[in-house]
Each structure stands twice: as structure tokens, then as C-alpha cells.
Amino acid sequence: MSDSGALLPPGISIRDLCVDFAAHRLFDRLSLEILPASFTALLGASGIGKSTLMRVIAGLTPPTSGVISGSDGLPLAGRIAWMGQQDLLYPWLSVEQNVCLASRLKGEKPDRLWAQHLLKRVGLHRHATARPATLSGGMRQRAALARTLYARKPIVLMDEPFSALDALTRHQIQTLAAEVLAHHTVLLITHDAAEACRLSHQMLILSASGLESCQPLPGQPPRAPNDIGVIESQAALLQKLSLSEVAG
């Protein structure tokens, strides 16, 4: 059983995006290419518009103007899964039932074999019948990751999904996410420079002056946190972030 599919997932293409918020223009003719089948980390100061950009990509917030599509030229609608900071598990459902939530909401029969396969991948197959209240924070986030994968969407948008976890659990879930999402197009919002350097193929900094692309790291994620390249890139990235906040 495979959750990657035979075809390469599309990237995300943004052309001349303008987004007005009240009387303020948040994005002015922003253009961006998010690479297919890769992790892209989006960093920047709080309030700069990272989550708004993600919501626009997801179709939850309409743009003022501009074009957003897959790199294949087709619309993104129906091809996106979302994973946020909060796991948002329904406390009255079992772990497996939470994973199958997309089917339940559509009134479809849950694909239990697929759900069980995913729970095994994230190490929760022995907790399929448990309620979320009995799980640790890391286990709940694993369940949320399985629920994200259950939808079989080629594009995954992640808005600080690991920020509420302790350092050790965050490291473990980062590694797991890099492995199970290896054949997806992933856009990850993070404030953690180390996380961005461990997980991403492409790093972008959003500031008041626009988007800046950072030098990509060699090797494949998840990179070891003590890798000298990760450490050096983290230091450089923190410096860029500091400069972008001053400039903003």
C-alpha cells in the first residue's frame, strides 16, 4: 500500500498576488514558485503575513488579484491537506475515527485499512481505539499527521505544527514528518530556524520588503541537528531573520 502515488505531486505557482487587508496592502504583486515533491519552509516575523499567505493558497482567503495554481497549471482546489499547530482531535472519537474524519464529514464509508496502515506508519497502531485525552502531546500530533495523510492529497500546508511540543518530541515528530511526507509538496510555516534547516529543501523569508530565498542545504531531510551544515545554515538564517525584522 502506498500513499505517494505514481506521479510527482505538483508544485505551487503564485503570480502577481495582491492581498488587501482592510486599508492595508499586505502583498503587492508577489510571485513565488514552491518546488514539487519537496519541503519549503516559510519564515518571518510574527504578523508579517505568513499564515495569511497560506490561507490564500488554501483557498480560505480570497486574493485581491493574482493567479495561484499548481505548477501543472491546474487549480489547487481539492488537492490540499492542512495541518495546523493545534491537533484539533475530536475528544469523543477514537484515534482511528479521528484519522478517518474526512470520510465521516463526507458521509462516506471510512477506509479503515488505509487508516490502520497510516497509524502503523506513525507508531499509533496499538492506540487505534484510544481516546485523544489518553495520549501525550506528541502522540496526538502523530494522530493529526496520520489524519492529514489519510486524505491522500499531494500538497500539504503546515502552519507551525510542532511548535507546542517539547524539544525531544518535536525532534522525533519532525523526523517522522520528513519521512512520511517525502513524496508530497509541503509548505511549512515555522519560527524555528533549526527546524527549517533540518527539514526543508527550500527556505523563504517573508518581510515587509517581500520574499527572500535562502541558499539551499545539501543532502536530504531530515538532516541531523548536529550536522555542521545545519548549524552553519541556522546561524546564517537567524542573521537574515534579524536583518529582515530591522528592515521591516
**Pairing, β 12-21 against β 80-83:** unpaired
Kindly state whether residue 141 falls inside one of the protein's structural domains. Answer: no
- CA atoms of 162 and 138, how far apart (whole Å): 9
Kindly state whether residue 190 falls inside one of the protein's structural domains. Answer: yes
Contact 217, 237 (CB under 8 A): no
Residue 145 grid coordinates: 499527521
Kindly state whether residue 239 falls inside one of the protein's structural domains. Answer: yes
pLDDT, one tens digit per residue, over 44-60 is 998 899 999 999 999 99
- Distance from chain centroid for Cα 168: 20
Residue 62 grid coordinates: 480570497
Q: Put the strands of the sheet holding 210-213 in their side by side order.
A: 80-83, 155-159, 185-189, 39-44, 202-207, 210-213
Kindly state whether residue 236 falls inside one of the protein's structural domains. Answer: yes
25-60 b/e (C-beta count within 10 Å ≥ 16 → b): ebbeebebebbbbbbbbbbbbeebbbbbbbbbbbee
Contact 202, 43 (CB under 8 A): no
What phi and psi, each to the nearest 5 degrees, are found at residue 15?
-130, 120
Number of C-alpha atoms within 13 angstroms, CB side, residue 212? 16
- For the segment 220-235, the average pLDDT, to the nearest whole number, is 90
Residue 184 grid coordinates: 508530497
Alpha-carbon dihedral of residues 216, 217, 219, 221, nearest 10 degrees? -90
Kindly state whether residue 121 falls inside one of the protein's structural domains. Answer: no
Enclosing domain of residue 233? 12-79+153-247
pLDDT, one tens digit per residue, over 186-197 is 999 999 999 999
Alpha-helical runs (H) found in the chain: 50-58, 95-99, 101-106, 112-121, 137-150, 167-180, 193-199, 228-247
pLDDT, one tens digit per residue, over 139-176 is 999 999 999 999 999 999 999 998 888 888 889 999 99
Residue 14 has pLDDT above 80, yes or no: yes
Better pLDDT: 12 or 23: 12
Kindly state whether residue 22 falls inside one of the protein's structural domains. Answer: yes
Average predicted confidence (pLDDT) for the chain: 91
Kindly state whether residue 47 falls inside one of the protein's structural domains. Answer: yes
Question: Which CATH number goes with the domain that contains 48?
Answer: 3.40.50.300
pLDDT, one tens digit per residue, over 101-137 is 999 889 999 999 999 999 999 999 999 999 999 999 9
Residue 243: band (very low, low, confident or very high) from pLDDT cuts 50, 70, 90: confident
Residue 3: band (very low, low, confident or very high) from pLDDT cuts 50, 70, 90: low
pLDDT, one tens digit per residue, over 83-98 is 988 899 999 999 999 9
Residue 181 has pLDDT above 50, yes or no: yes
- CA atoms of 104 and 101, how far apart (whole Å): 5
Better pLDDT: 204 or 241: 204
pLDDT on residue 5: 46
In the chain, % helix, strand, coil (3-state, to 5) comes to: 35, 25, 40
Could you write out the DSSP letters of every residue in 33-72? EEPTTSEEEEEE-TTSSHHHHHHHHHTSS--SEEEEEETT
- For the segment 216-234, the average pLDDT, to the nearest whole number, is 89
pLDDT on residue 246: 60
pLDDT on residue 241: 87
Give the pTM.
0.91
CA 211, 44, 231, 85 torsion-angle sign: negative
Kindly state whether residue 216 falls inside one of the protein's structural domains. Answer: yes
pLDDT on residue 244: 73
Number of structural domains in the chain: 1
